[in-house]
Structure 1
Amino acid sequence: MTFDRQDLSNETLLHLYQHLLRPRLIEEKMLILLRQGKVSKWFSGIGQEAISVGSTLALEADEYILPLHRNLGVFTGREVPLGRLFAQWQGKRTGFTKGRDRSFHFGTNEHHIVGMISHLGPQLAVAGGIALADLLDKKPKVTLTYSGDGGASEGDFHEALNVAAVWQLPVIFMIENNGYGLSTPSNEQFRFKSFVDKGPAYGMEAVQVDGNNVLEVYTTVKRLAEDLRENPRPVLVEALTFRMRGHEEASGTKYVPQSLMEEWAAKDPVENYEKWLLAEGILTETARHSIRETIKAAIEAGLQEADAVPMPTADIQEEIADMYQPFEAPVTDAPAGSAAPDKRFIDAISEGLKQSMERYPDLVLMGQDIADYGGVFKITEGFVAAFGKSRVRNTPLCESAIVGIGLGLSIKKKKSMVEMQFADFVTCGFNQIVNNLAKSHYRWGQNADVVIRMPTGAGSAAGPFHSQSNEAWFTHVPGLKVVYPSNPHDAKGLLCAAFEDPNPVLYFEHKMLYRSMSGPVPAAYYTTPIGQAALAAEGDELSIITYGMGVRWALEVCQDLGVSADVLDLRTLLPWDQEAVRRTVEKNGRVLILHEDTMTGGIGGEIAAWIGENCFEHLDAPVRRVASLDTAIPFAPPLEAAFLPQQRLREQVQALRNY
């Protein structure tokens, strides 16, 4: 192995050595503790330290890094206190996740690190969001994110690189190519010879480095970072290396040929660099011994600190509360006497979006065709002229990447909106929503200030892939908030409230209400409280609990049949208003729950169960549910009409009335 010091000082070379040695000595200690049962799991980076250390030290201290589970050198390079790091691995409260997550599954804004989730690929797009925030703020910064060669097979890898290239985001994508994805060798992962072949396909520069040569990694990344600060763009760096231990300790390395292990053992990044320093007279034996003993002493002190902390005890209220960033929604009413002209549902959404853009200068809108075209439903028509293309951004067809970018913007204290062209397409971004946005605050205290708009619902003969009511997929996920307005007034008010809330909010808007319904909407800015239901009608025969288009259907059926009913519009599905449900159940004793979503697994089942558990003594009849058929949504209008619940609603209202 050849080391080219270029113009690096002896001080820098020794600084790199100390940081290269530290993760190796920590790992050696952790492997002992693992065998003693004091650490539950360990993902070894032995053999790959030069990548983490060289690239981390090449950046400025306030530039964000998004590491994986073999990048201990990132954390030690950023001087994360060892006592706190060890407490994290032991599941102690003084770690970074209060014992809620393990390994490097955490972030720390103090040290400008955003840790991984087990799905590997999603963090690549989060890096893009951080870099976008720096671009918008005109800050000359770069962001560094890592991927393994196996993880680069994920769709998130493609989406993140594609968006970064299109938007010219200053991200260094570091690919640690160690030849295996767990036990699967590269020739069973991909057919190309080198990751540098991928760069030109995305329109970005790609370079290859010896990942075991700390000087080559350091000088290459430093050069690239300096260039990217002046000329923002993404770069792909392939670092060739090898993992000398199992994917994690339990998996072992029996699948690796012994000759390959011996070949790479000779390329050990720590031993070779140390030998070179000694040979060049830059490091003495005395200094070598002193540095090792100093690091070992720091490790022992950190372990003693972590060991002294007891295992956490569960505080149920705190566990529940920490799913969300605390937020007391201010009461924001339109000024008394202000004009409230009739507006269509779609225009109320557009107005709420526009006023929120004016209210929050750091709010960024992202979605397919939302810029000059104004979106497929024309909700953002004219927004580019008003706010510019930097804040109203057309996106590639990369739902996962765009949601991840929203989280990255949140890390930099910006708000964002992601428009799903149709709610059906959210499946392509599902992982980012339910595993990244929803869990981020609970895991390490980072809120996800992202609103996802979801045009939803059937009735337009659009078939199985443009008509789904999929809100129940998300009402099961703690950490999200889900709103679903039924009228223009609430459409604007709930959207404005969603932007005020620092937590991730899914905002469902029924397409069939867009241009078919109008109502009074105050022209001034106002909010409708998230989590509060409202009575759309009052009556004393029975209660219909519903939301969205269901409110329209319930009002029409009650009027046609002459039924006196409470029609309770939930408005928010997570968290839903239990006290409002309790009041109407206690009042009328006969309850029907209606939603357009399919019957099985719909939120109606959850509400019915809650009523049975908490309001049973007030019921005069069994709780009834009315929903769409448990089928995909058909295309032909007669089939779609049979799928939807209107006719069954009429029958069930009459049956409940006569029970």
Structure 2
Amino acid sequence: MSYSATDMIFDSEGYHQDFLIDLYEKLLKPRLVEEKMLILLRQGKVSKWFSGIGQEAIAVGVTSILQEDEYILPMHRNLGVFTTRNVPLHRLFSQWQGKINGFTKGRDRSFHFGTHEYKIIGMISHLGPQLGVADGIALAHKLQNEKKLTAVFSGEGGTSEGDFHEALNIAAVWDLPVLFCIENNAYGLSTPTSEQYRCEHLADRAKGYGMESHIIDGNNILEIHQKLSNIANDVRENPRPVLIEFKTFRMRGHEEASGTAYVPDEDLAHWRERDPIVRFEQHLLDRGILNWDWAEHIKCKIKQEIEAHLAIASEDRLPEFDETIELNDVFKVTENQYFEISGEISEIRFIDAISDALRLSMRKHPNLVLMGQDIAEYGGVFKITKGFVEEFGKDRVRNTPICESGIIEVAAGLSIKGMKAVVEMQFADFVSSGFNPIVNYLAKFHYRWGQNADVVIRMPCGAGVGAGPFHSQSNESWFTKVPGLKVVYPSNPVDAKALLIAAINDPNPVLYFEHKALYRTQRQEVPFDYYTTEIGKASLLKEGTILTIISYGAALQEALKIIEEEKIDYIDVLDLRTLQPLDTISIFASARKTGKVIILTEDSLFGSIASEISAQITENCFEFLDAPVIRVGSLETPIPFASILETNYLPYQRFREKLKELIEY
């Protein structure tokens, strides 16, 4: 669909004059702010700028039709969202200059922030994840019986990302009230749309998801307002996703350094004639709603506001580095809730302990939602949630499409709305498909702008069951390196139940690893009631003086078997239970006491948690050591399927040999 300047018709009938003037002011404000920012950019007072000149009508129009308590998830070219929501300009200026009164305390720049006060959730540079987050916020609206919708932005380039398609599919399957707003501005940085997709209109992509879609002139503020007002009102009453393609054009570079040399001059000239502000201003002048003097008065008033707020921001201070504050802001601080072990005890399996923890947590937290592939009526591939639908209903026990990334983003959106989520990876290996939102969204949430991610991701993991390279990995070390994530890995049923309950209570993102080989092999007397164990505390299972074994998960159980078979006594056996945060106090205390340490992991050694522990012991306990710290792990190969190959891939025979060598050292 192409547009000319002459077919840009404004239908202002039915609008009050005051409303039209207000809309004109809302369009002007982001343009004038941006013109000032471009000056400051050249002066070196802001570091980067993503221009929205020529696209203001979309951000202003979408925001204008939303209710004040409805969330909007903009991109970095949507300044009009922030100004239309009346975010104080001095706070935006401080944000862009990395000052303390910005929204991220200098920790992030541009529009990479959120604010509950103004119901705006900013994007991250990876673009796509916010689409699934919008799904999560919309799902929370549905579950909380609120007639609300959520609006989320993407550029035409972002529609090529998998997150876009996962988010649309989830929203369609679950009838989520989301307006997916595509700003089709012709170029992704310098790549034209002809090299990005083959469909005639991006709105056509909705057909594949059974979704409604519309094409709107993104430079016509009244067309945007009129059409979206009707759509939004209907979506609030009849929840469903709607895809909106706004045809527009980016008049400046992707960011200022990139320029527009790749754009033909005739295209720039064509779209310059369709400037959304100039054309709307002319319409108001032609109708007698506005005159030149009043237009100049409005511009002068906005410019004065900009200068006044720049003066406020100039007095704001830059952040001062305080290591304690920086480290403490990675996670939401929470008091550990202790629920003592008491009441009836029964012998159950590891898998039953996990199921108990989930069931009791669902009863305790009415705002908790379980999501995963096949977890509803089928009960999950391991039957851990069997019978949950009958007790808690399908709203809270949700089968998901096969879209790990999108569902993790939904969980983040639920957290924004004050809910809790547990996401089951059918196998821990599949988390690679959801890696980006975990390490770049959930992990950085609280540090960036103070929003916690109340999300637990269950990770059925591990070898020893003949499942081969794609269902057997020990991939915990992928995440222990990432600040902002907690990693829990129990070895027995008592801890499995307590630590999962603790993880669900924790308002921060937790990856909960559960080794499949333990599911039906480990039995223990487990308290029937609700109880917890503190995350970040190791457990000393055996105590002695001749050496220390450090391990976790199924490897810990194998270590216990080997020392029993070899009749080795008088040793410390430390079950880590939590890999991040790591209980270095207990690790160092044991290493200093025995002087000999062997670390066993099912993971391969290079870059593993075993390597990190070894390095920390060497740095902090060197003078107490009587032997080198020994690490034992699986082979540096993918995990083989055949039993004889898998047995020799695993580290346990090598551990037996190394253990004897260390005792005799």
Which TM-score band applies after superposition, normalised by the shorter structure? over 0.9
Aligned partner (choices 65, 79, 89) of residue 86 of structure 2: 79
What is the alpha-carbon distance in structure 1 between the residues aligned to residue 240 and residue 397 of structure 2? 20
What is the alpha-carbon distance in structure 2 between the residues aligned to residue 465 and residue 252 of structure 1? 45
Q: 1:571 is matched with which residue?
A: 577
What is the alpha-carbon distance in structure 2 between the residues aligned to residue 530 and residue 520 of structure 1? 21
Q: Which amino acid aligns with 2:447?
A: Y
Q: 1:213 is matched with which residue?
A: 220
What is the alpha-carbon distance in structure 2 between the residues aligned to residue 625 and residue 100 of structure 1? 37
What is the alpha-carbon distance in structure 2 between the residues aligned to residue 476 and residue 611 of structure 1? 18
Deviation readout 1:416-470 (Å, 9 max, x if unpaired): 0000000000001000000100001000100000000000000111110000000
| Number of residue pairs the alignment of both structures matches | 657
State the shift of 1:199 in Å: 1.1
> Which runs of structure 2 are paired with 1:357-376 in the superposition (5 Å)?
357-376=362-381
Aligned partner (choices 1, 21, 26) of residue 19 of structure 1: 26
Query: Structure 1 residue 439 and structure 2 residue 434: aligned?
Result: no
Q: 2:650 is matched with which residue?
A: 644
Q: Is the 8 A contact 1:484 1:507 kept in 2?
A: yes
Query: Structure 1 residue 554 and structure 2 residue 559: aligned?
Result: yes
Q: Which amino acid aligns with 2:199?
A: F
Q: 2:604 is matched with which residue?
A: 598
Q: Which amino acid aligns with 2:380?
A: G
State the shift of 1:334 in Å: 2.5
Q: Is the 8 A contact 1:533 1:580 kept in 2?
A: yes
State the shift of 1:539 in Å: 2.3
Q: Is the 8 A contact 1:537 1:555 kept in 2?
A: no
Query: Structure 1 residue 293 and structure 2 residue 300: aligned?
Result: yes
Q: 2:468 is matched with which residue?
A: 463
What is the alpha-carbon distance in structure 2 between the residues aligned to residue 593 and residue 308 of structure 1? 54
Q: Which amino acid aligns with 1:430?
A: F
SS at match of 1:597: strand
Q: 1:655 is matched with which residue?
A: 661
SS at match of 2:252: coil
SS at match of 2:117: helix
State the shift of 1:75 in Å: 0.3
Deviation readout 1:151-196 (Å, 9 max, x if unpaired): 1100000000000000000000000000111100001111111012
SS at match of 2:524: strand
Q: Which amino acid aligns with 1:448?
A: A
SS at match of 1:341: strand
Q: 1:167 is matched with which residue?
A: 174
Q: 2:236 is matched with which residue?
A: 229
SS at match of 2:46: coil
Q: Is the 8 A contact 1:107 1:444 kept in 2?
A: yes
Aligned partner (choices 200, 203, 211) of residue 210 of structure 2: 203
Change (3 A) 1:6 1:205: farther
What is the alpha-carbon distance in structure 2 between the residues aligned to residue 613 and residue 7 of structure 1? 75
Q: 1:494 is matched with which residue?
A: 499
Q: 2:637 is matched with which residue?
A: 631
What is the alpha-carbon distance in structure 2 between the residues aligned to residue 651 and residue 38 of structure 1? 63
Q: 1:381 is matched with which residue?
A: 386
> Which runs of structure 2 are paired with 1:354-433 in the superposition (5 Å)?
354-433=359-438
Q: Which amino acid aligns with 2:408?
A: V
What is the alpha-carbon distance in structure 2 between the residues aligned to residue 453 and residue 469 of structure 1? 13
Aligned partner (choices 518, 521, 528) of residue 523 of structure 1: 528
SS at match of 1:160: helix
Query: Between the two proteins, what is the percent identity of the paired residues?
Result: 61
SS at match of 1:466: coil
Q: Is the 8 A contact 1:536 1:551 kept in 2?
A: no
* Structure 2 residues not aligned, in runs of 5+: 1-7
Q: 1:614 is matched with which residue?
A: 620
Q: Is the 8 A contact 1:414 1:449 kept in 2?
A: yes
Q: Which amino acid aligns with 2:203?
A: V
Deviation readout 1:19-63 (Å, 9 max, x if unpaired): 000000001000000000000000000000000001101110110
Q: 1:333 is matched with which residue?
A: 340
What is the alpha-carbon distance in structure 2 between the residues aligned to residue 164 and residue 334 of structure 1? 42
State the shift of 1:88 in Å: 0.1
State the shift of 1:542 in Å: 0.8
* TM-score normalized by the length of structure 2: 0.98
* TM-score normalized by the length of structure 1: 0.99
What is the alpha-carbon distance in structure 2 between the residues aligned to residue 591 and residue 618 of structure 1? 11
Q: Is the 8 A contact 1:17 1:274 kept in 2?
A: yes
What is the alpha-carbon distance in structure 2 between the residues aligned to residue 132 and residue 655 of structure 1? 57
Q: Which amino acid aligns with 1:92?
A: K
Q: Which amino acid aligns with 2:437?
A: Q
State the shift of 1:6 in Å: 4.0
Q: 2:139 is matched with which residue?
A: 132
Query: Structure 1 residue 64 and structure 2 residue 71: aligned?
Result: yes
SS at match of 2:458: strand
What is the alpha-carbon distance in structure 1 between the residues aligned to residue 105 and residue 636 of structure 2? 41
Q: Which amino acid aligns with 2:568?
A: V
What is the alpha-carbon distance in structure 1 between the residues aligned to residue 240 and residue 14 of structure 2? 26
Runs of 4+ aligned residues of structure 1 deviating over 2 Å after TM superposition are: none
State the shift of 1:286 in Å: 2.0
Query: Structure 1 residue 276 and structure 2 residue 283: aligned?
Result: yes
What is the alpha-carbon distance in structure 1 between the residues aligned to residue 85 and residue 414 of structure 2? 22
> Which runs of structure 2 are paired with 1:449-488 in the superposition (5 Å)?
449-488=454-493
SS at match of 1:324: coil
Aligned partner (choices 323, 329, 340) of residue 322 of structure 1: 329
Q: 2:124 is matched with which residue?
A: 117
What is the alpha-carbon distance in structure 2 between the residues aligned to residue 10 and residue 237 of structure 1? 28
Q: 1:346 is matched with which residue?
A: 351
> Which runs of structure 2 are paired with 1:305-316 in the superposition (5 Å)?
305-316=312-323
* Structure 1 residues not aligned, in runs of 5+: none
SS at match of 1:521: strand
Q: Which amino acid aligns with 1:119?
A: H
What is the alpha-carbon distance in structure 2 between the residues aligned to residue 503 and residue 582 of structure 1? 26
State the shift of 1:600 in Å: 0.4
What is the alpha-carbon distance in structure 1 between the residues aligned to residue 312 and residue 564 of structure 2? 70
Deviation readout 1:133-161 (Å, 9 max, x if unpaired): 00001100000000000011000000000
Q: Which amino acid aligns with 1:577?
A: D
Q: 2:517 is matched with which residue?
A: 512
State the shift of 1:535 in Å: 1.2
SS at match of 1:558: helix
State the shift of 1:310 in Å: 2.2
What is the alpha-carbon distance in structure 1 between the residues aligned to residue 545 and residue 180 of structure 2? 63
What is the alpha-carbon distance in structure 2 between the residues aligned to residue 369 and residue 131 of structure 1? 22
Q: Which amino acid aligns with 1:350?
A: S
SS at match of 1:166: helix
What is the alpha-carbon distance in structure 2 between the residues aligned to residue 147 and residue 10 of structure 1? 32
Deviation readout 1:555-605 (Å, 9 max, x if unpaired): 111111122221100000000101100111111110001100111010011
SS at match of 1:279: helix
Q: Which amino acid aligns with 1:500?
A: N
Q: Which amino acid aligns with 2:326?
A: E
Q: Which amino acid aligns with 1:616?
A: F
Q: Is the 8 A contact 1:541 1:563 kept in 2?
A: no
State the shift of 1:540 in Å: 2.1
